[in-house]
Structures are given as C-alpha cells and as structure tokens.
Amino acid sequence: MSKRRIFILLAAAAVLAGLAAWLLLLAEYKLSGLALGGLGEAFSTKIYSAPFEVGKGSFAAPASLLRRLGRLGYRAVEKPSAPGEYVWLEPALEVYLRGFRTPSARQEPLKAELEYGAAGWEINTASGAAAVLLEPELVMELSGPDKVRREPVEARDIPEKLRSAVIAAEDKRFLNHHGVDLKAVAGALWRDLTRRGVWGGSTITQQLAKNLFLTPRRTLRRKLSEAFLAFYLELRYSKPEIMALYLNHIYLGQDGPVSVAGIRSAAKFYFGKEPAGLSLAECALLAGMIRSPYLYNPRSDPGRSMARRNNVLSRMLENGLIDREERAAAVTEPLSLAEIPARPGKDDNAYFTAEVVRLLLKTRDEDELFRFGLSVHTTLDTELQSAAARAVRQARYEAALVVLDPANGSVPALAGGKDYYVSQFNRATQAMRQPGSAFKPFVYGAALEAGFTPATLLDDAKKSYPNPGGKVWEPRNYGGVYYGTSTLRLALARSLNSATLDLASRLGPPAITDFARRLGVKSPLENSLAVALGASEVNLLELTAAYAPFANGGFRVEPVLITAVEDARGGLLEYGAGGRTPVIKPALAYLATSLLESAVSEGTASGLGGVYGWDRPAAGKTGTTTGGRDAWFIGYTPGLLAGVWAGDDSNRAVGVVGAGDALPLWAEFMKAALEGRPAEKFAPPAEGLVSVKIDPVSGLLAVAGCPERRPELFLAGTEPAGKCPLHPRGLKGWFKRLFGIK
C-alpha cells in the first residue's frame, strides 16, 4: 500500500474518530440530566395570521382595530414612546408599531397617527406612508415546550401488550438488534433508492436518537450519526429503558392548541386511562398512531384509525406476540373514546389551523412539522375568522362557512363546524355533499356563453325523463309551482328546476361540466341532466372558489391558506403565491353576477333584505337538496366572497333549506365583516354589454303597448332584434287590452 493511501486512510479514521468523540460528548451532555421521562430539544412550529393593513381610505372599524392591538399585546398608554404602545382618543389612534418581516410583507418600527372619519382612515407617518401594517398574530403553536402535555411513565408501568404492539408496528426485531437492524436497513435502502432516495428502516432506538439529538433532514451524514448514537444508547440503556424513553417522547396528536406527547398523556386523552389499564385493542391503536398521529387519529378519522389498529394486531399475531383468540377478540372491540373535557371559551381559529396542518402534511413529515421550529404564514384574518365562527355556532344543525378574496383566492376565514373540540371533521374541506341549486349558476353561465340571453324563454312545465333500467325521473319545482314559460333570468332567480332542465337539455351535460371545470369545480361530475340540479358531490371550499370568476371579472383562482413556510433559521422553504387564470370574458362574468343579483332581490334569496336586514348590493344562489339534507348559500359583494353549508353529518333528511338555514348565517357573517364600510355596487366592464328594454313575457324588444317594459342586459350581439308581438300599439292594442282579447 502506498504512503499516500495510508495517509488518506489515517486521515479518514481521524475524522471518524473525531465525529465519534463529538457525538459521544453530545450524547453525554444531552443525557447527563435526562430523567427517564425527559426529552431532547424540540422547537415549536408557529402558525401566524396574515399581517393587517390599515391604509388611507380603508374602513376597518375602530373597535375591530383595537381588538387586534389587544391580541398582539400592545399596551394602552398616555403617550406612546416605545414599540408596542398606543393611545386611542376617539376618533384618533396614535400607535408605535413594532415592525416585522415576513417573506411577503415588511413594516419598519415607527410612530403612526391614524384618524377615522366618514372617508375612512387618514394616515400620518414621518415616512409619508399611505398605509401601515400590524404584525401577524400567533394563532397556534404545534409541540414545543410551551404547549405540550407530557406525563412520563416508568418502564415498569408500561404493560407488556403495549410494548409488543409498538414492536410489531415500528421495529419487529427490537429485542434482538443493537440499535441498527441491518436487514431492515438493506431492505429500506433498496426501496429508498428506487424511490429517489427517501430514507427508511429506522429502529426504535434510531428514532429515539434522532428525536433527542438530530435534525429531521434526510441526509447520509444524519443517517450515519443516527446509527452511531443508536448504538451508543443501546450500550448505555437496557431495552425496557430505551422503550420507556421512546414512548415518553413520541408525539401523538393535538388537543386543540396543545400537543399530546408521550404514551401516558395519549392514553388519558384518547381513552381516559393509565397505560396499565389499556386493552389490547387500545394498545394496538396507539401503537399504530406513532407512524402518523394525524393520519390515524381516532377522533378525526375513526375508520382509518381502526383499520390501522387491526393491521397492527395482525402483525402481532404474525410475530407470535399474541395468539389467534386474542386477535379475534381485539379486532371486534368497538372504539370507545374518552370525552374531551369542556373548556372555557372557544378557539375560533381551530378549524383553520387544522386545515393548514393537513395541507402541510401533504409535503412534510410530522417530525419536521411538530418538532423543528417552522414558521408558517397564512392568509388568516382573525377578526373575519371570529365572525365566521360566531355565525356557524348559530346553526340549527352542523354548518360550515368559508371566505375568499375573489381577486386572488386567499382564504381569510374558514369555519369547519360548530365546535372543533367536539368534532375535528372539517365540513368545509372534507365533507362531500350535493350542492343542489347552488350548482345552477354554472348551467346558466354555460348558457350565456353559448349565446342564450337573460330574456331567452324556457319551458317550465312538469316533465319526466327516462333513466337507465326503465325507471322514470320526475324532478319537481320547489313547492310544486310551475310558470309554464319563464325567462332565463327569472328561472335562475326563482330556481325553477323544470326550466333549468329545459335549458340543460338544450346545452347538453358536457357543456355544463366543461364550464364548471374551467371555473374551478374539481370533483367528479355526473354526465347526465342530473348534473344541472346539483346531483354531483362537491365540498364547500371548492364550490365557493368556483364562484370567484363571476365576482372578479372572469378569473379562476386557487384557494390559498398558506403564503409561506420558513425554517427555524428564517430560510424560505415554501412560498404559496396564488394564481389567476382567465376563464370567461368580463362581460359574461358581470352578466352572471346580474342574474345572481336577481336571485337576491326577487328570488329564493330575497329574504336577505326582507328578513335579515341586508341593505347593500349582493349576488348569490341558494341550494337545497332532497328532503332538506343540505342547505347552501354562496354569495358575494364587491371584494368579498363567502359560502355556507348547513345540514346533518349523517346525511339524514332533516328539513334544512338554503333560504332558512344557510342564508341567515351568511348574512350574520357578512354584516360583521363589512361593518363600517360603505355599500358598493358591482362595476360593469367598459365594453361587451348592451342594455335594452324588453317585454318580460315575450322576451323581445318592448313596444309602447307592453304593460311592463323592463331594462335587460345582453352580451353585445345577442340582444333581441324583434319587437314584442303580444301587445300591439295604437287603438287596436288598447281595445284588446281593455277587453282582455288575445
């Protein structure tokens, strides 16, 4: 062997020895004060709201602005002299802003004088800025030392069936290896190499070493360090002690804002028991959750959790840890969860932050998310979120409400149910339900695009349609009322099923589904006339976002909840900028909005003004499914779009209706959201529309003899050319009208 090669080998050995010495010192330092229930470093992931802008002419209500300052910890003083202080002497606010930086916004610390008047806020700063920003609010901490429930358990108090379940689920050769399972490593390496290098095959001891000492970064260096530290832990501790350390450290879900860490806390939270009192089935369920506490959470997805439990029981049988009789009894044991204790107050942000976590877990593993100090920036507006949560809590049954900025798709509020602590199921994003008539705007939008007009006459008579298998489909108008003939505008405003099906049969289902797809509906759609009456299941967020092109001049937007993710050092990991895609012409978007305004002013949603005190322009559509299983209202004003669903989780026919159960929740939210703002009208595009007076009975140009002449909008080139023949002018026409002669 050459001298050069000997030197290289000695240098490599020295580097490895140095690494080993460093790892040993690190381990000794970390373990020197580590009780059996202790933990290594864990940094909480923080979820933040969006910054809040107060600009010249904005109309944020002063009370709302003061609430924001209070949540941010600003102090009321006589004269602000340091960042974080303010004084409110109506109508003037003097505030010393703290300043902040996020990947998408920045505010330097400065003094600002704001005054609220009829024209909104006036801003005065030394820099001459026309707007100032309040820093994002911290709305949730995941794991970390501040919000973790952890109760250590001694090795002697861990039941054998729990140890066996964890071994079967996580490391079947735990009792036989010395920290690293070479057979598992070889298999995992092969799988990982064929899947572009995702590491796997860690033993329980390696997982413990990673959790105590290392970062989650999947690198060869980290993997080698993990293996060495696992070997060291095996030398220092017995297998029962390693198992206890591991079970005391693992993350096992969320109790609202509090992380449930360790097997003892989890046993109490999910089953109301000490570990020693757990049944075999409960041990298997908790062991199965270790891989993914979010995915296999029995409170949010009991079906998937039970399937995972039964898989662990099967592994225990295969490894000889239980017998067939024990497995047979355990797989038939029903899930019986402990009740969650009542808490004072409500966490209005819980459904929103839970959805943020669900989205993050599509691209990040749970270890990274819950232990390594990410900063997650969102679109959340805490005032709008509180208003949404208050509105939903008033529902007779369950309900959900989502809010979008139609201009860019940002979601400032999302309430997925009445009480997150009672049910973590998010009805805004996870529930798939039939939208009923709330789907009809896509039928009518497709019709406008195909050359139909608001004055097109539709046949609104009772009909039957053949179904496969010889059955007959007989859809009916709500209340059994038929108009015989109806204009397209009236048919949508009054949600006439028969007229809508007449229109849909002329268009054909493909034109309707294509239009809905372009606007943002992604769920599978019926390829039959039933699609026109909302027979295909969608979720609330999806449906609400698909209305955005009507509200924003023709652009499809993707709903955005996460704007950026940073690591613990401030490095940018993810930037969630929303996009806009033109899908319909501005004139068509405005005309569709005009039709939906009629639904509010004279149609199924007319109770908005007549019953619920609404007094500003709005457009929207109600929806009610058969038997009152689902109630919907999707509606918008210039600049704000919101959708509401109400019903029963079991999909029972409970008699809810869009106008009586969804509409009032929308009104309650929107009145709070727009408090203090002047009413705005929808602005028409500069070109592409024509307004003429028509006779609403014939749908043609009105003449002097028509008893009613109504202005109507048309896409340029589609306005009627013929004159109304039903009401002739002159003496002859007068005579016919006088004596009722046709």
Residues carrying an active site annotation: 170, 437
**What does the alpha-carbon distance between residue 143 and residue 280 come to, in Å, rounded to a whole number?**
28
Q: Could you tell me whether strands 484-487 and 92-97 are parallel, antiparallel, or unpaired per DSSP bridges?
A: unpaired
Which three-class secondary structure string do you get for 298-311? CCCCHHHHHHHHHH
3-class DSSP state for residue 484?
strand
The strand order across the sheet containing 258-261 reads 148-150, 258-261, 251-255
**What does the alpha-carbon distance between residue 702 and residue 711 come to, in Å, rounded to a whole number?**
9
**What does the alpha-carbon distance between residue 52 and residue 636 come to, in Å, rounded to a whole number?**
22
Distance of CA 326 to the CA centre of its chain: 41
The amino acid at residue 663 is L
**What does the alpha-carbon distance between residue 54 and residue 75 come to, in Å, rounded to a whole number?**
19
What's the sign of the alpha-carbon dihedral 590, 595, 599, 601? positive
Of 73, 74, 287, 77, the residue nearest 170 (C-alpha): 287
Place of tokens 């306005």: 719
List Cβ<8 Å contacts ≥24 apart for 577-580. 578/408, 578/409, 578/410, 579/409, 580/407, 580/408, 580/409, 580/552, 580/555, 580/556
**What does the alpha-carbon distance between residue 378 and residue 380 come to, in Å, rounded to a whole number?**
6
Place of tokens 């322009």: 617
**Cβ neighbours of 71 (radius 10 Å):** 14
Give the DSSP letter of residue 683: P
The token pair at 605 is 């949603």
| Longest Cα separation, the chain | 122
Contact 402, 640 (CB under 8 A): no
Q: What is the CA radius of gyration of the chain?
A: 32
The token pair at 197 is 């290098």
**What does the alpha-carbon distance between residue 270 and residue 218 come to, in Å, rounded to a whole number?**
32
Task: Give the helix ranges, DSSP H, for 33-75.
Answer: 62-71
Distance of CA 14 to the CA centre of its chain: 53
The token pair at 331 is 């797989």
Contact 397, 647 (CB under 8 A): yes
**What does the alpha-carbon distance between residue 624 and residue 685 come to, in Å, rounded to a whole number?**
32
Distance of CA 641 to the CA centre of its chain: 15
**What does the alpha-carbon distance between residue 244 and residue 285 come to, in Å, rounded to a whole number?**
18
DSSP H or E stretch at residue 48: strand 45-48
- How many residues make up the chain in this entry? 742
Contact 123, 129 (CB under 8 A): yes
Contact 440, 621 (CB under 8 A): yes
Helices (H) and strands (E) in the chain, counts: 24, 30
Contact 348, 385 (CB under 8 A): yes
